[in-house]
Every structure is written in structure tokens, then in C-alpha cells.
Structure 1
Amino acid sequence: MDGNLDELMIYSVRSMFSGSLGLGTKNPQSKLHLVSGSSSVNPTNAFSGDLIIQGNSGGRSFNSGASIEFVIPANADGETPWGQARIITVAGNGNSGDATGKLILGTRRMFNKGTGTGQDWNYGDDLVVDGSGNVGVGTTIPDAKLAVKGRIHAEEVKIDLSVPAPDYVFEKKYALLSLSALDKFLKSNKHLPGVPAAKVMEREGFDLGVMNMKLLQKVEELTLYLIEKDRQLQSEQNTNRLQKRQIRSLAARLQNLDSKINKHSKR
């Protein structure tokens, strides 16, 4: 099909044909081939659901790459923000901050209408897969393979270790701090050795796998302290039992000596 306009409008018609359909081209290279400009396939009602296939300029892409959007506009008041809901966007790379090779699933998105280049997108509750393969939930700028802004509820979480498990604590060559040295460190620093201070964790967060291994290390150190204290306690108990036997022996000897003295004095 060829014409002066880069659009095809179909009004409640079922079309069945074989071959290829070209819009803006006389030589379609696929079943549906759209060429040139800001081509789109839209219903006649501008405020119902849309399927938009966009090129390199105009519209909501702001000179970003090609994209496919499924949109349900919420309202179209000329001066108020234009709300959209239930959005799926597949955006190509380009110079817009919104479109850098992303797949975006969102429940709402507000577009502040205006003229020129001052328009602004505000996302909410989005899932984003960016061009680097990073996935963001609740954030449009994931800084890791999975970035979640909000709570996570799971039955099980498995973490591959990036640091060795701290069984080295039980090696003979491990330098375990004495309790007196530990006491001195705690009074000076207000946190355990090797564990970040509270202000650092509040500012930078912490690696869950690394922190779990650090906590396990402290549990193992605590186990060694308890074993040492138990050894000291056993030694003290043995000493006490020995001293009790010695005291009983001395008491018996004194009693025997006292008896002999009494007999001698009666003579």
C-alpha cells in the first residue's frame, strides 16, 4: 500500500491476505514494514490503548532510539500532567535519559506536558531491564545485576561466597585477640574488630555475603573464648578440689595433734 501519509487506519475490519504490507515503502521486506518518520499504529481514539513504533525523532522519545510502547493514558487535560498506566516500553539506545536500551514495565508514569524540551517523565513501581542487563525493581537506574528499592519477601535466599568461610579461625596459627586487648579495642572504637562502624554501614550499606561471613567469624572467635574460659574454669575447679582435700587433711592432722596435746597436759 502506498500513499502520501505514513499511516494505515483500519476501522473494525478483519483483513485476510497473503504477502507483505508496506507503509511508506513500495518494497516491503517483511510481513509488516514501516519506513520513515514518526510512524505509528494507533486506534482512532487517541486516549485508548496504543501500540507505538517510533523512529529517531519526535513524540515521547525525544530523539532517543526506536521503541515500542503499550500505553493506557489516564487523562488528557491540556494543562495538567498526563498520567499513563500499565506501561510496557521497549526502548532503543539514544541520547534521552529515558531510553538507553531498556525494557520497562510500569504501573504508572506521569508526563508533564509542555512545549519544547522541558517535558519530564516520572516513573512509579517500574521493573527495568537496562542495556547492560541490569534489572531494577522500584528504580529506573539499577546499579547492579538486580537492584531493588523496597522490601524483599522470599522463602529462601542462596548466596555464592565471594570471600572464604572463616574456618581458618580454628587453625593453630590464627591470632586470636586476648580478651583484655578486645576490651581495649571496644572502648576505643565502639565496634567489633573487622566489622564496619555503624555510621559506615548507614552511609554505604554492606555486602550481605561478606557480613554473614564476618559474623560467623565472630561467632567462631566467641566459641574459642568460651572454650578457653571453660578450660580455665575446669582448672580452677580441679584446684579447688585439691585445696579442699588438703584442707580436710590439715584439719584431721590438727585434730589429732590437739588430741595428743590434751592427753599430755592431763598427765
Structure 2
Amino acid sequence: MRMKFLVLILLMGASGISYAQNTFPTTGNVGIGTTSPTNKLDIRGTITMDNGGDAAIYTGLGTTDLSRYLLLLNSAAARSASGLKAGGVLVAGNYAYANPGKNDLIVEGNVGIGTPSPQAKLDLQGGGLSIGGSNPTAGINGFKNVFQIKATDHAAIIFNPREATELMFGFHTNGSFYWGTGANYVMQLNKTGDAHISNTLSVGGALKSGSKLSVKGKISAQEVEVTTSNWPDYVFDENYEMKSLAEIEAFVNEHKHLPGIPSKKEAEEAGVNLGDMNRKLLEKVEELTLHLIEKDKELTDVKDRLLLLEKAFSKQ
């Protein structure tokens, strides 16, 4: 009987000792793997947290959000940031985004790089963006899909939004590109290759003053259409005053070019308007035609007179 009592006392003591192992003093430090702990809890070795599911670390005991952070520092003496290495990371207030896969980083809010207050899903400040590799969706004609924009509505790349210097390169759902500033589209390019520029275009050199299009070099084309006005049908008007051949001869002898046609110096220094030049050349052709018609009439009249004279002499 006495022996059973002693065994009971030992079991109760052992139970008390086992319970005491889960209770730590309210003062001082606790060390695991060390006899000289330097913090409230000092663990020398690895930690296993197995809760049969997701394990949690709490930064407070209250029932409200304390907006606290879990700091990872090298040591108490060197309080510089330490790294976090994980197979997958989920940054969210709930599990609506599911568990991250291996090597995945899932963020519910915004991500800031170089800024403490990101204003977009990805806010990059203080540096450039370098992209290596490509997306799984293939590009057109074998081009690698390095940068992609996925949207069900129109989308744009905007420089200095809502500023006086704002510029926009937009992608329309109709397949067109739009380049604009403010409320104006200054350039458009549709998916069939049609381009529209609202102002001016220079190719191969500086834009010539007063021109919408300047090309420094050769232009090759199968057909060129020039719109013009005041087509020189007025030459055939009965009241049109045409210079005589004698007047034209005097002008050419003095100026070394036809009247109404730019001189060599004028053409080389200022260029010529293609439409206007064609009109002037046609005017000269029409005037020349009238002169030829007049000379033909004079020649015919001379021939008729000669025939009459010939007949008169043959009768004598």
C-alpha cells in the first residue's frame, strides 16, 4: 500500500514536471540550443512549425489590425535586413488568391520598386526595366513575345499622364495605333498598313519650311497624282492675249528662258512646284500649238497663191 502511494506521488511529480516544461518564466530570456540566450527567445538551430496545415506567426494579441511588420534582421548587433528564401510567397490579407505555386510570388496589393508608396500594381522608380526571355504566347511571324499588354478595351502607354508634356501611344481594339498629345491624335497607323500624320513628315533630311513632306533623295513611284487648279484651257479662249513669236524671241534673247517659266537660278534655289510647272508647260504647249495652227494657215495660203500663179503662167 505504501509502495503504491509512493508511485502515485512520483507520477504526479512527473506530470508536474512535464507541465512545467511548457511554462516559461515571466522575466529573463529563454534559450533553446544555448545556455546563454540573448533575447526573449533565443533558438540556435532550425525551427519546424507543423500545425497540420498552414502555420502562423502573430505580431500581436489584439483583435484589431496593428499594422506591424515581421522584421528579418541579421542580428541584434548588426540590425541590417536579412533575406527571405521560399519556394512560393503569397502576400495577401486572405486566401482568395489561393496558395502560390513553387517559385511563384503572388501579391494582392501594389508592388513598389524604388518607392515606398507604389501607385500602381507595379510602380518602378529610380531605374530602368530590362526584360530577358519571352512570354509563352508566340508573336507574329516567329517574333518573341517579350512584352505584352492584355486588355478587353483600348489600352495605352502614357508618358507624364495629366501633365502638359503628356504623350500617349495607344492600342485600339480596331487594330490601330494612335500617337497623341492632349486630346489630339497626331499619328495613326491601322492594322492594314494605312498611316496618317496630322502635320509634317521629313525623310532623309530636315523639313523644308512651308512643306508638309520633305524628302532628301530620290523618290520612286509607279504613278503620281498632283491636284492643281487654273488648268490652262484659257489659252484657247478667244480673248486670250498670246505673245507673238517675235515678242517671244526678244524675251528669250534677253532673259535666256521662256516667259512665265522659272529661270535656271530660280529653279535651283527655290525648286519648282510640280503641279504648277506642269500647268505652265502645258500652257506653252497650247500656245505653241496655236502658233503652229496659225503658221499652217499662212503656209496653206501661200501654197494656194502659188498654185494660182502657176496656173496663170501656164495659160500664157
Q: Structure 1 length normalisation: TM-score?
A: 0.51
| Identical aligned residues as a percent | 35
Alignment-mate amino acid for residue 157 of structure 1? V
The structural deviation recorded for 1:41 is 1.8
The equivalent of 2:216 in structure 1 is: 149
Residue 191 (structure 2) pairs with residue 191 (structure 1) = no
Quick one: distance in 2 between partners of 1:213 and 1:14? 72
Distance 1:27 1:54, change over 3 A: closer
Residue 92 of structure 1, CA deviation: 8.0
Equivalent residue for 2:277? 211
Matching of residues 160-175 of structure 1 within 5 Å: 160-161=227-228, 163-175=229-241
Q: Map of 1:248-263 to 2, 5 A cutoff?
A: 248-250=314-316
Deviates more, 1:176-185 or 1:141-150: 141-150
- 1:20-68: CA deviation from partner (whole Å, max 9, x where unpaired): 666544232xx6555x6x6532358xxxxx99x987xxxxxxxxx6789
Whole-angstrom CA distance in 2 between matches of 1:172 and 1:14 = 89
SS at 1:176 equivalent = coil
Question: Higher helix proportion, which one?
Answer: 1
Contact 2:207 2:213 in 1 (8 A): no
Other-structure match for 1:261: none
Unaligned runs of 5+ in 2: 1-102, 133-145, 148-157, 169-178, 188-195
Task: Map 1:120-139; keep pairs closer than 5 Å.
Answer: 133-139=199-205
Asked whether the 8 Å contact 2:167–2:180 carries over to 1, the reply is yes
Once the two structures are superposed, the pairs formed by residues 35-54 of structure 1 within 5 Å of their partners are 40-43=128-131
Q: Does residue 176 of structure 1 match 2:224? A: no
Of the structure 1 ranges 240-249 and 19-28, higher mean CA displacement relative to structure 2 is found in 19-28
Q: Are the equivalent residues in 1 in contact too, given 2:206–2:214 (CA < 8 A)?
A: no
| 1:141/1:176 CA distance change after superposition, 3 Å | closer
Alignment of 1:89-128 (within 5 A): none
Matched, 1:247 2:313: yes
* Partners of 2:104 and 2:308 in 1: CA distance: 104
- Give the counterpart of 1:26 among 113, 118, 134: 118
1:148 and 1:18 mapped to 2: Cα distance? 53
Kept after mapping to 2: 8 A contact 1:135/1:146: yes
Runs of 4 or more consecutive aligned structure 1 residues displaced over 6 Å after TM superposition = 13-20, 90-93
Summarize deviations over 1:56-107 as a string: whole Å, max 9, x none.
Answer: xxxxxxxxx6789xxxxxxxxxxxxxxxxxxxxx8989xxxxxxx998xxxx
Aligned residues: 168
| Partner residue of 2:288 out of 210, 219, 222 | 222
- Does the 8 Å contact 2:205/2:215 carry over to 1? yes
Any unmatched runs of 5+ in structure 1?
1-12, 45-49, 56-64, 69-89, 94-100, 104-128, 251-267
Write the deviation string for residues 155-202 of structure 1: whole angstroms up to 9, x where unpaired: 0000110x3100000011111111111111111111000001111101
| Cα distance in structure 1, aligned partners of 2:299 and 2:108 | 92
SS at match of 2:314: helix
1:159 equivalent among 210, 214, 226: 226
How much does 1:151 deviate? 0.2
Letter in 1 for 2:221: A
Residues 243 and 153 (structure 1), Cα distance of their counterparts in 2 relative to 1, 3 Å cut: same
Report the CA distance shift for 1:221/1:186 in structure 2 as closer, same or farther (over 3 A): same
1:259 aligns to what?
Answer: none
Higher relative contact order (CA 8 A, sep 6+): 1
Structure with bigger strand share is 1
